[in-house]
A and B are shown apart, each in its own frame.
Chain A
């Protein structure tokens, strides 16, 4: 075989489609569903509305005002996480997965395309939610409470990291969706992991709480003042949440490759 012929054979064996093709497909799929818009809008509205209410109710001038006005993410994360689940599980419930895999038979690319596209959308939504919460919540503060400012690095860090946290929860949802595949069971798993597990395990001990996403966001990411028992840096805490997302997506990827569709 000549070198050229060999090269041609190799070229023919390499798939022509790349991550950008998978991502383009996922982008079209994501924005062509009304539910995407509705769930994202609901997530923003709920997060910002609760942040505003928290601002109105803040009376302690010595409290962590930034953390208060970001408290809406506790509910906002649920909507983004559920949307992440649905991005994967609705492919199975509708049968779209067969069409998707016929177009992109190299399955890791399908999940990577979803993670890139949906992760980006969720990051933008997350930052809009936290910056919106901060602006609306601090505007609602009574005059006796000092206004935190985004020019304070600790405040800016809290708002930015909390928004990033929302994107990571969305990716955790995507990973759970890839593992569990059935929407209802996957949402139950997500809610159990986010809300129930910290109640069961983390309530007694903050040492374990440092590893629970819901407690991480409230006590570390969104906090401007250090909270007792949360000694790790907020960046490290965000890294823990990111690690969960990476592990879940990794397991989801392995199962997607192994299982029949």
Chain B
């Protein structure tokens, strides 16, 4: 379970995340939707303890991530496409992380198998395609067999096969009873993958609901419902819709 209470982050004069509160429950895929720059990544980074909030608190399994006993066994995150050294092999990257949390070495082989990277595991990660890099990032997130998983834009730049693979993986992880929190700006992807939705705009909570309920607001069209919801907060939409 992820619990955010009044989470706030300021960058200079800009309020990136504004008293954001929400709960992400286990056993479901919860989508995190919002226009670009709405604070999704910042929120996820605060949940993972990478960025310090200016106010409020985020908890994973009841306590801040920094206080986790074995952090990688509590939560795993894919926050950017490439969070590994290009000169290191995929296997070494995973072994280093496993060693940090006393995760047995056999788990490295297990997650390599889960993401289908066995044959490329001894190649330097800098030579990986985007899809392979994404798979290594997911393997890293899964290394501690955590109950909570965060994925920031996991399907970005993937080919249709990769997108489908990620979708099925998310569903499976949620079916195993894990908390799966996934951001995307692809509404159609959310419609197919997520059960619940947390929608934010300009750092504020706009909706915390189910996919079915939100689409019902616009006669079954999730995209229309999303645009109606975020109309006041999107920074760049006026130019693209009104212009040209």
Spell out A's residues near B (CB within 8 Å). Answer: 12-17, 21-22, 24-29, 32-35, 90-91, 94-96, 98-106, 258, 260-261
Report how far A223 CA is from B30 CA in the complex, Å.
67
Q: Known contacts A21-B99, A102-B75, A105-B68; can you find 13 more A-B pairs with CB under 8 A?
A: A12-B69, A13-B67, A17-B100, A17-B101, A27-B99, A32-B95, A96-B93, A102-B48, A102-B76, A103-B71, A103-B97, A106-B66, A260-B45
Are B83 and A103 in contact, with the CB atoms below 8 A? no
Report how far A14 CA is from B49 CA in the complex, Å.
17
**In the complex, which of the residues B50, B80, B95 contacts A101, with contact meaning CB atoms closer than 8 Å?**
B50
Report how far A56 CA is from B85 CA in the complex, Å.
42
Interface residues on B, range: 35 or more
A96 with B71, Cβ < 8 A, contacts A28-B92, A28-B96, A29-B96 known: no
Q: Is B79 an interface residue (CB 8 A)?
A: yes
Are B71 and A102 in contact, with the CB atoms below 8 A? yes
Q: Is B22 an interface residue (CB 8 A)?
A: no
**In the complex, which of the residues A94, A98, A106 contacts B86, with contact meaning CB atoms closer than 8 Å?**
A94
**What residue in chain B is nearest A93 (Cβ atoms)?**
B85
**What residue in chain A is nearest B46 (Cβ atoms)?**
A260
**What residue in chain A is nearest B84 (Cβ atoms)?**
A96
Report how far A250 CA is from B70 CA in the complex, Å.
26
A32 with B83, Cβ < 8 A, contacts A103-B72, A104-B71, A105-B71 known: no
A103 with B100, Cβ < 8 A, contacts A15-B69, A94-B82 known: yes
Q: Is B140 an interface residue (CB 8 A)?
A: yes
Are B83 and A99 in contact, with the CB atoms below 8 A? yes
Q: With a CB–CB cut-off of 8 A, which chain A residues contact B97?
A: 25, 99, 102-103
Residues 87-115 of B, flagged 1 when their CB comes within 8 A of A and 0 if not, give 11100110111011110000000000000
Q: Is B65 an interface residue (CB 8 A)?
A: yes
Q: With a CB–CB cut-off of 8 A, which chain B residues contact A24?
A: 99-100
Report how far A159 CA is from B197 CA in the complex, Å.
66
Are A16 and B69 in contact, with the CB atoms below 8 A? yes
**In the complex, which of the residues A16, A33, A102 contacts B102, with contact meaning CB atoms closer than 8 Å?**
A16
**What residue in chain A is nearest B77 (Cβ atoms)?**
A102
**What residue in chain A is nearest B83 (Cβ atoms)?**
A95
